[in-house]
Chain A
Amino acid sequence: MSKQRIVIIGNGMVGHRFIEFLVGSEKSDDFEVITFCEEPRYAYDRVHLSAFFSGSTAEDLSLVEDGFYEQHGVTVHLNDKAISIDRDNNTVKSAQGLEVSYDKLILATGSYPFVPPVPGKDRKGCFVYRTIEDLEGMTAAGAKGKVGAVVGGGLLGLEAAKALKDMGLETHVIEFAPRLMAVQVDEGGGAILRNKIEEIGVRVHTSKNTVNITDGNSTINRMEFEDGESLETDLIVFSAGIRPRDELARDCGLDVGSRGGIEINNQCQTSDPDIYAIGECALWNNQIFGLVAPGYSMAQVAVDHLQGKQESFTGADMSTKLKLMGVDVASFGDALGITTGCRNYTYIDEPTGIYKKLVVSHDGEHLLGGILIGEADAYGNLLQMMLNDMELPEHPDVLILPDRDGSAVGLGVDALPDSAVICSCNNVTKGDLNAAVQAGCTTVGALKSETNAGTGCGGCVALMTQVMNAEMENMGMEVNTDLCEHFPYTRQDLYNLIRVEEIKSFEELIEKHGTGRGCDICKPTVGSILASCWNDYVLEKPHAGLQDTNDRYLGNMQKDGTYSVIPRIAGGEITPEKLTILGNIGSKYGLYTKITGGQRIDFFGARLDQLPDIWEELIDAGFESGHAYAKSLRTVKSCVGSTWCRYGVDDSVGLAIELENRYKGLRAPHKIKFAVSGCTRECAEAQSKDIGVIATENGWNLYVCGNGGMKPRHADLFASDLDKETLIKYIDRVLMFYVRTGDRLQRTSTWMENMEGGLEYLQQVVIDDKLGLCDQLEEEMSHIVDTYQCEWKTTIEDPEKVKRFRHFINSDKEDNNVVFVQERDQIRPATEEEKIEFRKVG
């Protein structure tokens, strides 16, 4: 039997998902798959398009794994738009001149942004917000402009406004309706939402109708409104709704709706049974679905139908949560209360900016919908309550009233049926999650990669975690977070105990809160916390035995028991004179010498007994400890910056040195690396660092929680165009918050990955002072900065301490097990075989 040829027009989110379902199905071998993709790249994650502005690349957003299409024999015509369908001969023609026949045709053409017919709408600086190319255009224009305006205050419009704001533009939102998010939010909620949006620095103009766009005086454009007012702006982004792309269908005579959209039946077939339509271009039951989850369901139904199965598409939940930093907004079900006889409960807290509303059935038994603004934690639970038609408590208002005495009446996840869809983006039920937990997925990360849940909009992660924990409990599994057998606490708990009870030594802590004598897990952890809190000299007698050998001897132990010596070279800047001194010391002690990956110089092969002498010479010459051995600040790399570089916009070296000197010596859960670049060319690779700083025309952009190393992570853009004072304030807070809450040996990247609420939460804590901690964090940091000491200087000044660096306590002999051979004109440790040779000779 020859294969059935399936042609898909549109390689967007839904078109790609359709192909995934098809090639993953039982009868995949029966089909030959061809797809037309108008865009210059394979399908990507449009839902997270805005992440493009915070550093995600087109590659990061791609939905198609390398080699996926090749592996499954899928033919993709990239950059080629289908231009006509011939239904008599079952063929499709493309812009590049291809003509392809089909057995079944799938339309997955998505939608296009609607641009109101305002004169001047095509002027320079005008954009829509739909594709990576749109965003590239905005970035380029934004770099030159000062002001941006978004036309449309819906979900997408607000997302676009946030993006403009992050680009450093003065940002305005122009909404035709009298309130923001008019479809999802009622009047009361709209007022609170407006405050929230204005708080993040975006100016909101409602009831404004744009009638003309023309030359601006100080900017590229001027928008003129019906009421006679006007706004000077460089960029204009239209986000006034979407329209289905049904032009191909119209041209070949398929039925389309009166307001657009390709009509489909429950099996996603159009009026021609050989042609299906799925995703945003499809009109089902007179409804268009502008979300990705319903599109995915349609893709599944269409694939099933092609294989002879009769699944049906039966509509979809249109609940939404705004993915916007610092603004919690969720709306679900009949949010506006249009069901006849329904009744409302509302809770408004104006001072804090919280608005919550529940819409319940006339008998008060079932939840029909709701709105949550300012605090949307309950979204997942309430949505489930509605979707599963669960019975409401006697007084439904307890579900939205603040929980002041801790007696919250939530709904336990146990009450949910197995069929409850927890992740609607990927259609994952509670039953699916439980099965995965039983199969061994006991972390959110594992659960995500096993089931895909939580990898779409991310709105379900909190609920997903609850389901996981509940199932683990049901299975009798304990989520053991104890640090080790000596302390039934996490690192964070110990940190709090040490701070609050002002505990100053390991002995005191283990006496009060632990058992036994400690081990190589808890001792260095506690040693590090004590240093973070009180900043005592780490080799003070009670602390000495807590330190890992690297901290104990202030150098990194190498494979043969010798140590490395890395003096600090702040920002990588060094005078020729100092470089010469280093050269002399290296040759005097015969040390192997190399430039490190951290822009400084490393000596290797120093025996324990040589360390104090070497360091004495270094300190005399003005060097200090580089803390390469410690879980603390390592290096602040720099590029040469504006002083010399013809593109530099600020003094990156100067700032790098200042930052390195400020944070040197700070002990943390793991090492911390910084870099500062003088312009967006980013020669210092700041976006791969725990803290990255990049100069802009208007100040400094701060990036956080990047990582090179084993699992590279791009840093997140945390705040833009900061003056130096604010920059340092934010870094102080971020670092101290990490010191407080990080796990043992957790770099900032994994800390961020595991942080509930993620970047947004960290921004709330650090920028908006959500926890009221900022003053304290800054105070703690200033204590550390004020009490800095070079540990090597303190050590060599005390003969008692120096004594501890002898190899033998009862002899001046050297360790005869340390043997070097020569390689490329320098020493290296001898191999075991070479050592045997050496002993025979010696």
Chain B
Amino acid sequence: MNAVVEKINSEDWIEICALDDLIINDGVCALVGDDQVAIFRTGRGDEVYAISNFDPIGKASVLSRGIVGDLNGRPVVASPLYKQHFDLETGACLEDESETVKTYETRITKSGMIEVKNS
């Protein structure tokens, strides 16, 4: 989950785009260092999640293009390829315990920019 903080000048946090650049409940892909990261703005628009964009089952960089929602109260994205669900908070795949995708911390700065922690 994200927190609203002052923008601190740390190398770890990478500014991606304005929160308003994201459509609610729609995803985008961002380049964070060398990583492809899928970023989603969900709920009423006040929650931002970031996970790896690579679908380990379909083996393609597509998760940002999946549909987000919730299953049993967990926020999830469904892979657009074969529809497995990944937990946006933990990266766990709901259908296949052996698969997890990397998650990234996010925050929204006072000026309304989304930042992702490069870890």
* B1-9, B61-69, B103-111 - the one binding chain A: B61-69
Is the pair B81, A808 in contact by a Cβ cutoff of 8 Å?
no
Please tell me if A485 contacts chain B, counting CB pairs below 8 Å.
yes
Chain B, residues 11-47, CB within 8 Å of chain A (1/0): the string is 0000011000101111011110000100100110000
Chain B, residues 73-99, CB within 8 Å of chain A (1/0): the string is 101101011010100000000000000
Report A833 CB to chain B, min CB distance, Å: 12
From B28, B30, B42, contact of A517 by CB (8 A): B42
Provide the main secondary structure of the chain B interface.
strand
Is the pair A520, B67 in contact by a Cβ cutoff of 8 Å?
yes
Is the pair B78, A557 in contact by a Cβ cutoff of 8 Å?
no
A590→B27 CA distance, assembly (Å): 28
Is the pair B70, A517 in contact by a Cβ cutoff of 8 Å?
yes
Is the pair A545, B62 in contact by a Cβ cutoff of 8 Å?
no
A557→B58 CA distance, assembly (Å): 12
Please tell me if A366 contacts chain B, counting CB pairs below 8 Å.
no
Task: Give B41's nearest chain A residue, CB to CB.
Answer: A545
Residues from 284 to 331 in A contacting B, C-beta threshold 8 Å? none
Is the pair A519, B67 in contact by a Cβ cutoff of 8 Å?
yes
From A544, A815, A832, contact of B36 by CB (8 A): A815
Please tell me if B72 contacts chain A, counting CB pairs below 8 Å.
yes
Task: Give A562's nearest chain B residue, CB to CB.
Answer: B60
Is the pair A549, B66 in contact by a Cβ cutoff of 8 Å?
yes
Give the interface size class of chain B.
Answer: 35 or more
From B29, B54, B61, B68, contact of A809 by CB (8 A): B29
Is the pair A519, B71 in contact by a Cβ cutoff of 8 Å?
yes
Most buried by B among A519, A550, A813: A519
Is the pair B36, A810 in contact by a Cβ cutoff of 8 Å?
no
Most buried by B among A522, A561, A811: A561
Is the pair B71, A808 in contact by a Cβ cutoff of 8 Å?
no
Query: A520-B67, A548-B67, A553-B65 given as contacts; is B76 within 8 A of A808 (CB)?
Result: no
**Chain B residues whose CB sits within 8 angstroms of the CB of A807 once the complex forms:** 29
Give the interface size class of chain A.
Answer: 35 or more
A808→B66 CA distance, assembly (Å): 15
Is the pair A549, B31 in contact by a Cβ cutoff of 8 Å?
no
Is the pair B78, A545 in contact by a Cβ cutoff of 8 Å?
no
A517→B75 CA distance, assembly (Å): 9
From A516, A557, A808, contact of B65 by CB (8 A): A557
Is the pair A808, B29 in contact by a Cβ cutoff of 8 Å?
yes
**Chain B residues whose CB sits within 8 angstroms of the CB of A547 once the complex forms:** 67
Please tell me if A120 contacts chain B, counting CB pairs below 8 Å.
no
Give chain B's interface residues, CB within 8 Å of chain A: 16-17, 21, 23-26, 28-31, 36, 39, 42-43, 54, 58-62, 65-73, 75-76, 78, 80-81, 83, 85
Give chain A's interface residues, CB within 8 Å of chain B: 485-486, 516-520, 522-524, 541, 544-550, 552-553, 557, 559-561, 608, 804, 807-811, 813, 815, 817-818, 832
Q: A519-B76, A810-B30 are in contact. List 7 more A-B contacts (CB 8 A).
A: A519-B67, A548-B67, A561-B81, A809-B16, A809-B28, A811-B31, A832-B59
